[in-house]
Structure 1
């Protein structure tokens, strides 16, 4: 897929918009921790999180708190995201503030306060928001809040009502499909979260119209509660 300068900007803006720009869920302390991989049972959050049942409605602020609490204490996890047909992979180690996001269009690695980026045609380099390369500039600007790349951050600060519309399975666990509409930067975004009974969000789909372009972002966690191998590229 060929992506021009305008397309790169829209794609990156849409990815950040649709995956959430609020403070990352990992910023909140947790009193419980999912024990091991997603195939293993995890303890439910200790706050007053409602039991999930098909047909029930859950308040978005309560959903946000419950997901953030459930996902805040983990060794690490990996995820796959698709934006406008372009697939990226990501790894996260919250305790180390380490994030790696790799895609055919542009990639980013952050280790604490150190951030490196690269486009499809460049080598790894230190983040530079003023770069003449639109991909480097866009990725560097995004790096100002790298938590926006974290799938767990998609649930932070959501509001409105979410309805349990069905069930499915992810990583060997039963998940509940919670559907609703949130507003991000003035744009209505239709969201479906796939959440375990203990509120770990293992997947989400978000769709919206950005600058006249219909955009869908699909995210799924491929490995949960496993420390990821993230190293500096330079």
Structure 2
């Protein structure tokens, strides 16, 4: 079964977002709150339903509310673990800027400009016909990135999600929303951790690809903090 691993990574992590899939803990981890993250976020976003344990929310509604929270933030940084490989992602939505760095390959997007880099190459313009399969794959991924949806969530939240519990992230209460998403014929089990106003502070996902179990974890490490992302060339 052929699966777009970039897509699975973004979806499962809710991101390389970048590039595939890895295991996360069952319970949300307690982290030292940042100055921005300690602000109260008790009121749900406009037109978004209040989150309560046991309630179910349509994936399309959840995607809209989460995407609004992402694009409305000054910026964020995240850590992804995919098949034991850690990647970092930073975004400043108001500038349409996204940077993902991993040991396998990296991507920078600023507005309409895109650059890619494999572990053995320099930064370059995307080239889907590159003889380097990593550069070709990253180039395809870069072309699919929508800076207005920096975590790639718009198409990731099909179906229904149920609030199955609560926890704490970055000093804030989060609601655990569990559901199943179908991505290119692959079933992905998802758990999102979002605040009362739908800031997505973590996500875990698992699926099976060619008989291999694939898991991904994404954790927001900075929220509502502008990130300095500069062009590499």
Answer whether TM exceeds 0.5 for this pair.
yes
Q: Mark the runs of 5 or more structure 1 residues left unpaired by the alignment.
A: 1-8, 22-35
> How does the TM-score come out when normalised to structure 1?
0.81
Is the 2:145–2:152 Cα contact (8 Å) retained in structure 1?
A: no
- CA deviations on 1:68-120 (whole Å, 9 max, x unpaired) are 22332121111111111111001111111111000001011111122111111
Name the SS of the counterpart of 2:146 in structure 1. helix
2:45 matched to which residue of 1? 45
- CA deviations on 1:104-158 (whole Å, 9 max, x unpaired) are 0101111112211111111111111111111111000101112389663325462
Mapping 1:34-73, distance limit 5 Å: 37-42=36-41, 43-47=43-47, 49-73=48-72
Change in CA separation of 1:10 and 1:107 when aligned onto 2, cut-off 3 Å: same
CA-based RMSD = 2.4
Q: Name whichever of 61-70 and 81-90 sits farther off.
A: 61-70
For 1:97 and 1:19, the matched residues in 2 are separated by 20
Is the 1:68–1:156 Cα contact (8 Å) retained in structure 2?
A: no
Name the SS of the counterpart of 1:147 in structure 2. coil
Name the SS of the counterpart of 2:130 in structure 1. coil
Change in CA separation of 1:148 and 1:215 when aligned onto 2, cut-off 3 Å: farther
- Aligned residue pairs total 211
Q: Mark the runs of 5 or more structure 2 residues left unpaired by the alignment.
A: 16-34
Change in CA separation of 1:11 and 1:158 when aligned onto 2, cut-off 3 Å: closer
The structure in which a higher percent of residues are helix is: 1
Is the 1:151–1:219 Cα contact (8 Å) retained in structure 2?
A: no
Name the SS of the counterpart of 1:207 in structure 2. strand
> How does the TM-score come out when normalised to structure 2?
0.82
2:8 matched to which residue of 1? 14
For 1:155 and 1:202, the matched residues in 2 are separated by 16
